[in-house]
Amino acid sequence: MSITVKGTIERRDIGMGAWALVTEEGTTYQIMRGADKKLLQSGQKAEVNGKIREDIMTNAAIGPVLEVNSFNLI
């Protein structure tokens, strides 16, 4: 399922660490490994277009896994 969401990038210190996108509504998505390093800056606001990956499980388990296709920094 493709989605576009706006939110704030956060680094979570869970296990080896994980990146998250937290929306204004409070929904947390775990950003899938391999995302562009320009996006992965804690506190940065972005609009992200991607795909929810229901076929992947992670150790962090902080929310649905979001595979980033594109993004715009806000």
Q: What is the pLDDT of residues 10-38, one digit of tens each?
A: 999 987 899 999 999 999 999 999 999 99
The tally of CA atoms less than 13 A away on the side-chain side of residue 49 is 4
Q: Which DSSP symbol is given to 32?
A: P
Task: State in words which class domain 2-73 has.
Answer: mainly beta
Within its chain, how far is the Cα of 46 from the centroid?
Answer: 10
Distance from first CA to last CA of the chain, Å, rounded?
A: 24
Going from N- to C-terminal start, the domains of the chain cover: 2-73
- Whole-prediction pTM: 0.90
How is residue 64 written in tokens? 């649905």
Residue 7 above 80 pLDDT? yes
What pLDDT score was predicted for residue 60?
A: 85
